[in-house]
A and B are shown apart, each in its own frame.
Chain A
């Protein structure tokens, strides 16, 4: 009898949990109607999107997102920020958890099948970060026989070891903060990923690291939108053009990467056009 009571309770709780998640999923899509916009950004990427307590992120992506939202008619206090990790960006857009993703989200053909992209709003280049006093590594080829750090799941390391065929040993970590720690301690010789991400870390500890300024692989950062939002996509593209025209883009870049001696590009990347 007791066992039955327990199982009923469990079943009830499970049903309740299901109902709650169902509500959460369904209610997210029409958040724009109540006068707010939900934007997914990174919370762990210095210089791009980093949470600095109280759920308020800061960084280049956040500045861009705020500007775009402004052009779409949302005041900064009408923006609800949500953390978007690399792995859940598509899911967030498909399920309507967020209205927009601005999270170092590279435009690729695979992703285009799942979501729509506006932009790109910035074209990052894959680059290499080394210790400031390192004179031995000046190009990707110098990494032959050295140790390279990259975050698990990033394609950047493959560009060097497979596409370019350079025999560097790979140390994988969970995130780039760990790579930077390993680089500081000299366990790895170099860290590779998008120059924006590297510059974000380098700016945190100015003078410790240097970017090599290479252009190995383009990463075209787009604004992720749910599939089928062509109209919204056009609006976002207009906002991005406006952002570059009135100099806001340069201002954002300088504010977030100025410390890193990072030669960012201030020209608007050519828009892809909306499908």
Chain B
């Protein structure tokens, strides 16, 4: 355990990148998820089709492939770059992949939330003369969001753990699991305590998330 603790600054550095990946991807995937949900329940058939195709295609593709596509496809073959420095370029490519992937799950969670709203409410809103956007913003999304806080917490936890793929899939983003593998490769640390140490690190990140989202979902539940 001493060898693991001696490398503690490396561990902290790794987790700081895990948090950066998670936080920014969470924001983007939430935004994209809302857009996708709005498209899927919109009155325009083409929008519904596009959103469904996107969600089904990306949701059913392994994350490793999505990120490999970002690294070797978008970046290497097509020359897409987000930043001058390699470190930030691969970071943003990873955020792109993680957001594109996670948005599908956000969208599916939100859509199930939308389905909990009695249809009469939406009809009533329409009969009052609210447009689709007003209907979404004032009636549907506030209630849908409140009913899916719990599931969204699970999505966030999954995203946190999914960031570990970003270091392996053609990108080499710094994050916690990469630091762990580096420590093994250098042979400086015993395997079992290191595994347990990093697992505890993820617990420390994810347990409060689950707790906060659980509490929130109870507090914010829509009373019907």
Residue numbers of A with Cβ under 8 A of B are 86-87, 90-91, 110-111, 114, 147, 152-155, 169-174, 178, 181-182, 185, 187
Q: Is the CB of B86 within 8 A of A174?
A: no
Q: Is B170's CB under 8 angstroms from A173's CB?
A: yes
What are the residues of chain A within 8 A of B170 when measuring CB–CB?
173-174, 178, 181
| Interface: B2 (CB within 8 A) | no
Q: Which residues of B contact A90 (CB under 8 A)?
A: 187
Whether B172 lies near A174 (C-beta < 8 A) is yes
Contact flag A171-B86 (CB < 8 Å), given A178-B72, A187-B75: yes
Contact call A173/B182, Cβ cutoff below 8 A: no
B90 contacts A174, C-beta separation under 8 Å: no
Q: List 15 A-B contacts (CB under 8 A).
A: A86-B185, A87-B184, A147-B86, A152-B172, A153-B182, A169-B87, A170-B86, A172-B167, A172-B172, A173-B170, A181-B72, A181-B76, A185-B77, A187-B75, A187-B79
Chain A CB within 8 A of B126 CB:
no
> CA separation between A90 and B189, bound complex, in Å?
13
Which residues on B are within 8 Å of A, measured CB to CB?
A: 71-72, 75-77, 79, 85-87, 90, 167-172, 178, 181-182, 184-188, 191
Q: Measured between alpha carbons, how far is A154 from B186 in the docked complex, in Å?
A: 9
Q: Is the CB of A174 within 8 A of B182?
A: no
Known contacts A181-B72, A185-B76, A173 near B185 by CB under 8 Å: no
A contact patch SS:
mixed
Given known A174-B172, A178-B170, contact A169–B187 (CB-CB < 8 A): no
List chain A residues, Cβ under 8 A from B87.
Answer: 169
- Rounded to whole Å, the gap between the CB of B17 and the closest CB of chain A is 13
Q: Please give the distance in Å from B66's CB to the nearest CB on chain A.
A: 15
Q: SS class of chain B's interface: helix, strand, loop or mixed?
A: helix
Q: State the Cβ distance, B93 to closest chain A Cβ, in Å.
A: 11
Chain A residues whose C-beta falls within 8 Å of the C-beta of B186 in the assembled complex: 153, 155
Contacts of A182 on B, CB cut-off 8 Å? Answer: 72, 76
- Determine the chain A residues whose CB is within 8 A of the CB of B77 once the complex forms: 185
Q: CA of A147 to CA of B85 in the docked complex: distance in angstroms?
A: 9
